[in-house]
């Protein structure tokens, strides 16, 4: 250990705190890692305890990061100077940045939201500069309890009862299982100073009112272990949500289908075989996976009703420009620009030479001369006779004559950008026919043919939801 004194010098309570700190580190995956860790240090008691624990009870390099946000004029500058001085005394690398957060607030954003956004952006920059895989924040069990209570007041499901995630991506919370009182006990025993943020006592902020008024009142007049019960509830919710997430992932893999131009696509028949809770879990999982807004209960019930309706055509708006579009036995999450944009013009291509390629919209076509293979239609490729093949015509499937396009073979929302290929008196729609189906004129002997291949380049959007803490 980096602490110059043996662990026996510490009180029983502090030794217990050390063990929980190590357990959190192992559970969050950073305890045995190589490379530095970034500690978010405001100068308050929680972050100073975090910095001390990392600096003196962990083996790796610690880099402190402090954002002076310009909220509190002279006191915020005081806190920045304090963090820099302590880091010099502890021989700890320190990065300090000064910003005027009030002037950086975006439209519709609160001052606290702007500060949180810029703080995490700053921490990410420091981590990138230092090559650090983890960013440690000073959230305590008190912060966790307050978040659970706040979510209950606002209205939440099991997911909200988890409170603050113990880790998310690079961000880890090493002291999330330790109370603020315990951490201040450590600082007093280790003779470590800290700075008090006077705004933390101002009950005009609702979280402070929960911290200083509501929770103490409930503990005093209701149940003295109320905060402990909220901690236990958070733990149970986290375990339940983890099990549900694993189950949802398995069900999603089962019913998900590959569909060009769709962000996600699912088999409606399989969805209808599931109960409502399972379908809701899949919907919620896919939304989180793509970083979409959470559907309200009312909108979720509407979507469930549409899914239960059966095969056919319907639309459901998830976000402003995102819709779930049902076509036949498939429901797909689609960006509206896919079916609101005119497709490419009709083109005619002469297949000259032994091989070649061209693009049509987001599609790429390649061909090459093949020997000894009979003509055939396939899923992603087809073969046409080399003799008398003539030019190949590519047009949008939605512009064909009535009756030429088989009913239900394509999703209605993509027919303006989906190609139909005409050649030698036949037509082929890529990514629809089963492999190995014969062309008209079956019985043609194998001979020179042209192997024609189609590929589509579409990209699904993926993101993650911020936890808001």
Domains of the chain, start order: 7-234 (3.40.50.620), 256-338 (3.30.465), 347-456 (no CATH)
SS3 269: helix
Q: Per-residue pLDDT tens for 378-427?
A: 788 888 877 766 788 899 988 887 767 777 788 999 988 999 888 877 78
Instruction: Provide the whole-model pTM.
Output: 0.66
Question: Judging by DSSP bridges, how do beta strands 363-373 and 447-456 pair with one another?
Answer: antiparallel
Residue 464: pLDDT over 50: no
Arithmetic mean of pLDDT over the chain:
85
Angle subtended by helix axes 45-57 and 180-189, to nearest 10: 60
d(CA 361, CA 363): 5
Q: How confident is the model at residue 437 (pLDDT cuts 50, 70, 90)?
A: very low
**What's the average model confidence in pLDDT over 300-310?**
90
**Tokens matching residue 432:** 């629809």
**Tokens matching residue 252:** 């999603």
Structure confidence at residue 73 (pLDDT): 67
Residue 191: pLDDT over 90: yes
Residue 439: pLDDT over 50: no
SS3 91: coil
Q: How confident is the model at residue 434 (pLDDT cuts 50, 70, 90)?
A: low
Structure confidence at residue 240 (pLDDT): 86
> Which residues, listed in sequence order, are joined to residue 71 by a DSSP beta bridge?
none
To which H or E segment does residue 120 belong? helix 111-130
DSSP 412: G
Q: Per-residue pLDDT tens for 158-170?
A: 888 888 989 988 9
Residue 447 contacts residue 387 (beta carbons within 8 Å): yes
d(CA 65, CA 85): 13
Residue 28: pLDDT over 80: yes
Q: Per-residue pLDDT tens for 196-226?
A: 877 777 777 788 888 888 888 888 888 888 8
Instruction: Please choose, from the candidates 157, 152, 467, 154, the residue with its C-alpha nearest in 3D space to the C-alpha of residue 297.
Output: 157
Residue 69: pLDDT over 70: yes
Residue 95: pLDDT over 90: yes
**Tokens matching residue 237:** 């919710």
């Amino acid at each position: 250990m980096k602490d110059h004194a043996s662990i026996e010098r510490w009180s029983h309570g502090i030794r217990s705190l050390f063990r929980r700190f190590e357990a959190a580190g192992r559970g969050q995956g950073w305890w045995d890692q190589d490379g530095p860790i970034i500690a978010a240090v405001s100068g308050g008691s929680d972050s100073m305890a975090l910095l001390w624990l990392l600096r003196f009870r962990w083996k790796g390099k610690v880099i402190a990061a402090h954002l002076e946000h310009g909220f509190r004029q002279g006191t915020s500058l005081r806190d920045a100077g304090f963090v820099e001085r302590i880091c010099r005394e502890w021989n700890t690398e320190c990065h300090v940045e000064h910003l005027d957060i009030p002037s950086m607030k975006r439209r519709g954003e609160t001052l606290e939201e702007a500060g949180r956004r810029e703080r995490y952006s700053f921490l990410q920059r420091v981590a990138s500069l230092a090559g650090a895989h983890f960013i440690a924040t000073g959230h305590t069990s008190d912060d966790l309890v307050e978040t659970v209570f706040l979510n209950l007041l606002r209205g939440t499901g099991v997911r909200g009862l988890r409170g603050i995630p113990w880790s998310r991506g690079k961000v880890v919370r090493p002291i999330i299982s330790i109370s603020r009182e315990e951490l201040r006990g450590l600082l007093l025993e280790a003779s470590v100073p800290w700075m008090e943020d006077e705004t933390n006592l101002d009950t005009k902020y609702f979280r402070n009112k929960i911290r200083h008024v509501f929770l103490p009142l409930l503990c005093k007049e209701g149940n003295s272990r109320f905060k402990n019960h909220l901690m236990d509830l958070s733990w149970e919710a986290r375990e339940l949500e983890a099990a549900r997430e694993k189950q949802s992932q398995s069900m999603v893999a089962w019913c998900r289908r590959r569909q060009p131009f769709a962000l996600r696509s699912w088999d409606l028949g399989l969805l209808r075989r599931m109960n409502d809770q399972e379908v809701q879990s899949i919907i919620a999982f896919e939304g989180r996976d793509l970083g979409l807004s959470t559907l309200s209960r009312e909108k979720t019930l509407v979507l469930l009703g549409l899914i239960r309706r059966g095969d056919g055509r319907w639309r459901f708006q998830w976000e402003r420009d995102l819709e779930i579009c049902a076509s036949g036995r498939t429901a797909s999450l689609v960006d509206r620009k896919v079916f609101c944009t005119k497709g490419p013009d009709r083109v005619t291509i002469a297949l000259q030479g032994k091989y070649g390629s061209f693009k049509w919209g987001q599609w790429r076509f390649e061909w090459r001369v093949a020997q000894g293979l009979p003509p055939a239609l396939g899923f992603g490729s087809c073969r046409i006779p080399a003799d008398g093949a003539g030019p190949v015509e590519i047009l949008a499937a939605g512009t064909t004559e009535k009756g030429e396009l088989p009913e239900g073979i394509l999703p209605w929302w993509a027919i303006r950008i989906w190609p139909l290929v005409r050649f030698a008196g036949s037509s082929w729609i890529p990514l629809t026919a089963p492999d190995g189906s014969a062309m008209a004129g079956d019985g043609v002997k194998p001979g020179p043919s042209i192997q024609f291949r189609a590929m589509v380049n579409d990209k699904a959007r993926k993101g993650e939801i911020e936890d808001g803490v």
